[in-house]
């Protein structure tokens, strides 16, 4: 059972206040994500240059690039795990009712990293395939993310069960389509703010929308 405030009517003001309370945590997550991304790029560049130098006049010009991409892969994994925290922190907050500190956020991430990694791979693969097939299936899957992340981080059910359960919660519950409408509107507002601020506004809009949508999911009964 989540904290009482999770089931209250969501408002922009509350989402903003919750974001303000979590600024240190969100800021560090963002800094860590950027730092890992930069390190990954530098590692990839270094491996590519080193491989090209060692291969000399090798006819296989693509080999250095392949090694560079492979070297960046571990950093992409870490970056993706950090990115999930932008959705997981609101889920953890509404579950406990207490502000999620930096230590609490990273402790939660390190408790079951393999579960979160596999869950992310499944969701990313399903969403990508959905977009490639006909765009709309990808959007339909992507709209289950707030519920899916909540079930993955706060539940113990198998990943596939969490995936199918999230889909059913969003599209088969009485208030599911109402939540979908709210989520689409939130996406559009985040996109508008991001475009109008050359991307800088996303640093605020994305986490604020995450708090709002997590609260809305509880309020609509999609998460218990």
Q: What's the distance, CA 58 to chain centroid?
A: 41
- Ramachandran class of 221: left when φ > 0, alpha when ψ lies in -120 to 50, beta otherwise: left
Residue 201 burial (10 A CB sphere; 0-12, 13-18, 19+): middle
134-158 pLDDT per residue, tens: 888 889 999 999 999 999 999 999 9
Query: What is the Cα–Cα distance from 137 to 198, expressed in whole angstroms?
Result: 29
Backbone φ and ψ of 110, nearest 5°? -85, -10
| Per-residue confidence (pLDDT) for residue 34, from 0 to 100 | 85
The tally of CA atoms less than 13 A away on the side-chain side of residue 208 is: 20
Two structure tokens written together for 102? 């930096």
**What does the chain come to in residues?**
224
Task: Provide the 8-state DSSP code for 223.
Answer: -
The structural domains of the chain, with segments of one domain joined by +, span: 4-219
Query: What is the Cα–Cα distance from 65 to 147, expressed in whole angstroms?
Result: 38
pLDDT in tens, the chain (224 residues): 788 889 999 999 999 999 999 999 999 988 888 888 888 788 777 777 777 777 665 555 566 666 666 666 777 778 778 888 888 999 999 999 999 999 999 898 888 988 998 998 889 889 989 888 888 888 999 999 999 999 999 999 999 999 999 999 999 999 999 999 999 999 999 999 999 998 888 889 999 999 999 999 999 999 98
């Amino acid at each position: 059972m989540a904290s009482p405030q999770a089931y209250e009517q969501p408002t922009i003001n509350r989402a903003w206040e919750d974001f303000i309370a979590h600024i240190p945590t969100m800021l560090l997550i963002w800094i860590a994500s950027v730092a890992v991304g930069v390190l990954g790029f530098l590692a990839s560049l270094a491996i590519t240059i080193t491989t090209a130098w060692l291969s000399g006049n090798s006819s296989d010009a693509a080999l250095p690039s392949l090694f560079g991409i492979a070297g960046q892969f571990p950093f992409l994994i870490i970056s993706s795990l950090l990115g999930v925290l932008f959705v997981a922190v609101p889920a953890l907050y509404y579950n406990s009712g207490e502000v999620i500190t930096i230590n609490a956020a990273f402790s939660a991430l390190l408790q079951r990293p393999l579960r979160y990694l596999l869950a992310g791979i499944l969701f990313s693969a399903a969403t990508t395939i959905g977009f490639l097939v006909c765009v709309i299936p990808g959007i339909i899957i992507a709209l289950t993310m707030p519920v899916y992340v909540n079930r993955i981080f706060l539940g113990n059910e198998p990943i596939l069960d969490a995936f199918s359960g999230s889909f059913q919660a969003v599209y088969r519950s009485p208030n599911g389509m109402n939540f979908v409408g709210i989520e689409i509107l939130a996406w559009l507002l985040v996109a508008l703010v991001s475009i109008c601020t050359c991307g800088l506004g996303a640093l605020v809009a994305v986490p604020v929308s995450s708090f709002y949508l997590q609260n809305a999911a509880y309020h609509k009964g999609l998460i218990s």
